[in-house]
Chain A
Amino acid sequence: MSDVILQVEDLHTSFFTRAGEVKAVDGISFYVREGETFGLVGESACGKTVTGLSILRLLPEPAGIIVGGKIILEGKNLLELSKKEMREIRGEKISMILQDPMTSLNPVYTVGDQIGESVRQHQHLPDDMVETEVVSALRLLGIPAPESRLHDYPFQMSGGMRQRVVGSIAMSCRPRLLIADEPTTALDATIQAQYLALFRDIQKQTDVAIIFITHDFGVVASICHRVAVMYAGKIMETASTSTIFKTPKHPYTSALIHSVPRLDRKDDRLYSIEGQPPSLLNLPPGCRFAPRCPDVQDVCHKQQPPEVEIGEGHTVSCWKVK
C-alpha cells in the first residue's frame, strides 16, 4: 500500500458575496495515495473545482476564503504555510491543469518559454539544462519532435496539442500531486481517449498522484482508481471505482450512474434526476439531496447523515445506511 500524499480533513470553503455567504465546500474529507488517480465527480457547482482551488489556495480574492479544516500534503498542513512557502509548493509539489486549452496558454509567449518558466522558477538550473527539461516534459506528454516545438506559439497548435502543452507545464517539475480540472471536457471524443491513456502512462512513469475532477462517469471508469461523489458542497460517497459501479450505496450515486446512457440497454427514455441542486446560499437543514432523493425518509430532511464506513475504503453519508 503506497503512502498517502494528500489528506483533506473537514475542509470548509465559502464565498462571501453581497448576497450572503455561499458555502461552496461544506466539510469534506478524503485522501489520495501516491501513484493513484482519485476522481472527484458531481454536477456543475457541486464544489469540486473549488476543492481543487482550495488545495492550491488560489481562490478568487477577496470573496473566496477557506473557512476551516486541514489540507495535509506530505505531512505539512498547507493552510498554515506563509504565502511565500505556498508559492514554492505550487508548480513544484502540486500542479493543476485547467479545463480549456484554448485560453490556458498565454498567447504572446512561446511554448518553450512558458514551460521553461516553471522549471526556472523552481529548479534554478542553467539555461541549457532548462531546455533539456522542457524537451523532456514535452516528450512525457507524447508530443512528437519536441525540440522543434519550443519556439512555436500556442495559436499555431491544435486544441489537443495545446492541452498536452498545458500538461507539460504541469509535469515539468515532476510534482507529487496533479489536479486535473475537467481536462477532457473541451476535447473531441477521439482525442479524449488518447489523452486519458496519456495520463495513465505518465502516472506509471512518475508515480504522480492525480485528483481528477469531472462530471463524466465514463471518464471515471476509464482512469480513476478511487472516486468521491460530491453534491452541493459535500461528499456523498467515496469508494474504489469498481465498488462504486457495482454496489453504489448512495441514492445520488446510483442515480448518476443510471443517467449515463448505455448502448447495451434499450431505454425508451433517458433517465435524469428530477429537480435542481439547492442554492448554496440557502442550504436546507438535513441531507442536501433530500428534496430530490427517491429513497428519502423523514429524518433526511431534519439532520445531515454522518459519514459511515461500510467496507474496505467505502464510506457513505446516507440515512439509509447504518
Chain B
Amino acid sequence: MQNIAPNIEAISGTKVAAGVKRVRIVRQLTLIIPAIVLFLLVLAAIFADLSWLGLPDVRLAPYDPVKISMSERFLPPFWAEEGSTAHILGTDNIGRDILSRVIYGSRISLSVSLLVIVITAGVGTVLGIIAGYLGGRTDGFLMRVTDVSLSFPPILLALLLAATMGPGYWTIVLALSILGWAPYARLIRGEALRLREEDFVGQARIIGASPIRIMVRHVFPNIINPLIIMMTLSVGMVILTEAALSYLGAGIPPPNPSWGNMVNDGRSYIDTAWWISTFPGVAIGLVVLSGNFMGDWLRDTMDPRLRQL
C-alpha cells in the first residue's frame, strides 16, 4: 500500500552510490573469509604432522594427540586461572592436548567429507541424469527409491551398519554414501528434465545421437553449475552428520580424535571442564558455516534461480 514520498532529498544520488559500493564489498567478503577459513583448515589437516612424508616429528600440532599425561589433566585454556600457554586450549581428562586433537580431528572431517561427496555426487548425478532424461518408468522407479532414501534417517542406517561391522572410518563413509546420493539425484534429475526440452537436445536427437551420447555430451555439461553448488553445500552437511555419528559412538573409535568423539568425551565433565566439549564444536561450526557461505556465494553468482534465502 502506497505512501506518498516524505522527503525526496533524503534519497540522494551519492547515498545510493555509497550503498551500492558497500553491498559489493560485503559480497566479496562473504566469499573471501570462508575461503580463507577452509584453506587454513586444509592446511591444518595436511600439516598436522608430516609423517606421511616420513617426517613424524615435524608438525603443526604442538603435541601428539594421543599422548597421555596424567600430571597435566584438566588444564583449562590459557586465559583461565590455572591455564598455561603450554596448552593453549587446555587438556582433557587424561591430559591430552585439546588444540592438537582439534587439529588432528580436522583430518577425519575433511577426508570423510571429501570421499563421501565424491561418491554421492558421482552416483547421484549418474542416476539423476538417467532418470531425468529417459523419463517414464525408469524415472518413476528411480524417484521412488530416491524419495525413500531421502526420508530415511542416515543416523539409523549408520547405527545398523556400526552394529554389524563395528564402528569406524569406513562404516561412516559407507553409511553416508548409501543414502547421500539421493539429494543429488533429485536435483540433477530436475535439471535433466528441463534440459531435455531444450532445442539443442532436440537437434541432437534429430541427427540420430544415441541417448548415452546426448546425456554425456549435452546434458552433463549443463548440470555442472548446480552440481558444484550442491557439492560445496554438502561439505557442511556431511561434516555435521559425521560428527554426530562419531559423537554417538558409531564413528571413529578412540583414542583417535574426531571432533564428534571429542564432544562426547567432554560431556561427562561438562560441569568441571567445559573446554573439552566446547572447542571441537566451535571448530565444526566454523567449518560448516564457511562451507555454507561459500556454497551460497557460488549459488548467488552462478545460478540465482536456486536462491533460497
Interface residue count on the B side (C-beta < 8 Å): 12
Give the residue name and chain of the A residue nearest to B12 (CB): A21
Which positions 1-60 of chain B face chain A at CB distance < 8 Å? 1-5, 8, 11, 13, 16, 19-20, 23
Interface residue count on the A side (C-beta < 8 Å): 21
Please state if B16 and A20 are interface contacts (CB–CB under 8 Å).
Answer: yes
Give the residue name and chain of the A residue nearest to B2 (CB): A57
Give the residue name and chain of the B residue nearest to A60 (CB): B2
Q: Is A45 an interface residue (CB 8 A)?
A: no
Residues of B contacting A21 in the complex (Cβ-Cβ under 8 angstroms): 8, 11, 13
Given A19-B16, A20-B13, A20-B16, A86–B1 Cβ distance below 8 Å? Answer: yes
Given A16-B11, A18-B23, A79–B4 Cβ distance below 8 Å? Answer: yes
Please state if B2 and A18 are interface contacts (CB–CB under 8 Å).
Answer: no
Question: Binary interface profile of B, 101-138, with partner A (CB < 8 Å = 1, else 0)?
Answer: 00000000000000000000000000000000000000
Q: Is A265 an interface residue (CB 8 A)?
A: no
Residue in A20, A58, A68 whose CB lies within 8 Å of B2 = A58
Residues of B contacting A17 in the complex (Cβ-Cβ under 8 angstroms): 16
Residues of A contacting B1 in the complex (Cβ-Cβ under 8 angstroms): 57-58, 61, 83, 86-87
Give the residue name and chain of the A residue nearest to B13 (CB): A20
Please state if B20 and A18 are interface contacts (CB–CB under 8 Å).
Answer: yes
Give the residue name and chain of the B residue nearest to A66 (CB): B4
Q: Is A64 an interface residue (CB 8 A)?
A: yes
Residues of A contacting B2 in the complex (Cβ-Cβ under 8 angstroms): 54, 57-59, 61, 64-66, 86
Residues of A contacting B20 in the complex (Cβ-Cβ under 8 angstroms): 18-19
Q: With A and B bound together, what is the CA distance between A64 and B1 in angstroms?
A: 10
Which positions 13-55 of chain A face chain B at CB distance < 8 Å? 14, 16-21, 54
Give the residue name and chain of the A residue nearest to B6 (CB): A65
Residues of A contacting B8 in the complex (Cβ-Cβ under 8 angstroms): 21, 67
Residues of A contacting B23 in the complex (Cβ-Cβ under 8 angstroms): 18
Q: With A and B bound together, what is the CA distance between A67 and B6 in angstroms?
A: 8
Residue in A18, A57, A66, A87 whose CB lies within 8 Å of B5 = A66
Residues of B contacting A20 in the complex (Cβ-Cβ under 8 angstroms): 13, 16
Q: With A and B bound together, what is the CA distance between A79 and B20 in angstroms?
A: 31
Give the residue name and chain of the B residue nearest to A64 (CB): B2
Name 7 interchain pairs, CB-CB below 8 A, sorted by A: A18-B20, A18-B23, A58-B2, A65-B3, A66-B2, A66-B5, A83-B1
Q: Which residues of B contact A (CB under 8 A)?
A: 1-5, 8, 11, 13, 16, 19-20, 23
Q: Which residues of A contact B (CB under 8 A)?
A: 14, 16-21, 54, 57-59, 61, 64-68, 79, 83, 86-87
* A18-B16, A67-B8 known, 20 other contacts, Cβ within 8 Å: A14-B5, A16-B16, A17-B16, A18-B20, A19-B16, A20-B13, A20-B16, A21-B8, A54-B2, A57-B1, A57-B2, A58-B1, A59-B2, A61-B1, A65-B3, A65-B4, A66-B2, A68-B5, A79-B4, A86-B2
The 3 closest A-B pairs by CB, nearest first: A57-B2, A65-B5, A67-B5
